[in-house]
Amino acid sequence: MKVRDIGEFGLIERWEREVPGGPGLVRGIGDDAAILEATPGAQWLATTDTLVESVHFDLSFTTPEQLGRRALAANLSDIAAMGGRARFALVSLGLETDTDLAVVDSFYRGLTAEASRWGVILVGGDTVRSPRSMIIGITVLGDVEPGRAVRRDGARPGDLLLVTGDLGGSAAGLATLISEPSALSALDTRYVREVRARHLEPEPRLREARIIAASGATSMIDVSDGLANEANHLARQSGVSIVIDAEKIPVSEATQAVAKAFNHDPVDWALNGGEDYELLFTAPPECVGVLADTVQTQTGTPIRIIGRVKEGAGCWLEEGGVRAVLPSSSYDHFTRK
């Protein structure tokens, strides 16, 4: 069955029946607008992201279910980066009329599974016809204790620069997905599976973020476009300089193995790859011990110090005692830099 056989209203009726509600939801899918209960005294966080087929995803190696999960996870990561709690999501879909209904159903299965993992409720959206390629717009609402959101502009000279987990895994995963199968023959399949999961099923660091925010972090950003880019954002928006120690950048054993097989520098993947969805943040040195211990014991996620904040401007990479400017490398949608 195709989308055209059931139509916009047929789709909406199904979601109205099947999508679960939860705390804070007064009226969800089915009315002109959703009615939501605000947490008393809290501030709202709002974020949105748009994904376009063949620009941001490719259904030839992502299942629709993984796509649903990942599309929501990317937005949840933005709520995490503010130190907030994710509450509600809205989903806009542009679909070709001959899209298989099974693709849409599977997309929603992934989306609602990821939502329920984090107590997020899907409260509405919009559905339109797209002449070519699928378009996905997701908006997430979160909340945070007043004044407690961790912004990008709070880093201070003397702070340390820290990161959750490890970096470059998603770029390594993408490399294995787009390569010829023969390029993988020398690689341990466990490594391939691990880095692919990093790319296809990223974990938003929501739990870690709440602890980081409550433990004295001064600025935070999620690593969606590579460490170089995000560190430059923190430096510029905070009006400080950031020095990163290249040897301290955490790269997993799997990412290193894949990098070796592809003859690629794993640190380049960490700096300039994308979609790792780890958290990059700054904190005064006296907060770091307790912060890292609490995150590790309560979530199992390691925290590493990878650099420091200084007076001045710009981002620097230090390697073997040599310091070089670290330019941001981000993909610009319009200039295709």
Residues that bind ligand ADP (CB under 6 A): 12, 15, 29-32, 91, 93, 124-127
Residue 31 interacts with Mg ion (CB under 5 A): yes or no: no
Give the nearest distance from C-beta 285 to ligand ADP in angstroms: 46
Q: Considering beta carbons, is residue 137 or 274 the nearer one to ligand ADP?
A: 137
Distance CA 280, CA 45 (A): 19
Q: Considering beta carbons, is residue 91 or 243 the nearer one to ligand ADP?
A: 91
Q: Considering beta carbons, is residue 122 or 223 the nearer one to ligand ADP?
A: 122
- The conformation of residue 45, written as its DSSP 8-state character, comes to E
Per the document, the length of the chain is 337
- From 84-92, 123-131, 143-151, 272-280, span contacting Mg ion (CB under 5 A): 123-131
How many CA atoms lie less than 13 Å away from 191 in the CB half-sphere? 19
- From 125-133, 161-169, 180-188, 315-323, span contacting Mg ion (CB under 5 A): 125-133
CA trace torsion 217, 80, 227, 282 (10° rounding):
0
Q: Considering beta carbons, is residue 93 or 223 the nearer one to ligand ADP?
A: 93
> Which has the closest alpha carbon to 303: 267, 253, 250?
250
Give the nearest distance from C-beta 115 to ligand ADP in angstroms: 11
Please report, as a single letter, which amino acid is at residue 90.
L
Beta carbons within 10 angstroms of residue 92's beta carbon: 16
Helix (H) or strand (E) holding 255: helix 253-261
Tokens of 331: 């993909």
- From 12-20, 120-128, 170-178, 270-278, span contacting Mg ion (CB under 5 A): 120-128
The site partner of 124 among Mg ion, ligand ADP, none (C-beta below 5 to 8 Å per kind) is ligand ADP
Distance CA 19, CA 4 (A): 21
Give the nearest distance from C-beta 15 to Mg ion in angstroms: 13
Give the nearest distance from C-beta 78 to ligand ADP in angstroms: 19
- The conformation of residue 201, written as its DSSP 8-state character, comes to S
Phi and psi at 134, nearest 5°, equal -85, 140
Q: Considering beta carbons, is residue 81 or 91 the nearer one to ligand ADP?
A: 91
Helix (H) or strand (E) holding 26: strand 25-27
Distance CA 154, CA 237 (A): 8
The residue at minimum Cβ distance from ligand ADP is: 124
Give the nearest distance from C-beta 279 to ligand ADP in angstroms: 28
Q: Considering beta carbons, is residue 82 or 141 the nearer one to ligand ADP?
A: 141
Q: Considering beta carbons, is residue 35 or 55 the nearer one to ligand ADP?
A: 35
Give the nearest distance from C-beta 9 to Mg ion in angstroms: 11
Distance CA 243, CA 232 (A): 10
The site partner of 332 among ligand ADP, Mg ion, none (C-beta below 5 to 8 Å per kind) is none
> Which has the closest alpha carbon to 165: 59, 40, 296?
296
Q: Considering beta carbons, is residue 90 or 217 the nearer one to Mg ion?
A: 90
Determine which residue in the list 5, 16, 126, 265 makes contact with Mg ion, applying CB under 5 A.
126
The site partner of 29 among Mg ion, ligand ADP, none (C-beta below 5 to 8 Å per kind) is ligand ADP
How many CA atoms lie less than 13 Å away from 193 in the CB half-sphere? 3
Residues that bind Mg ion (CB under 5 A): 126
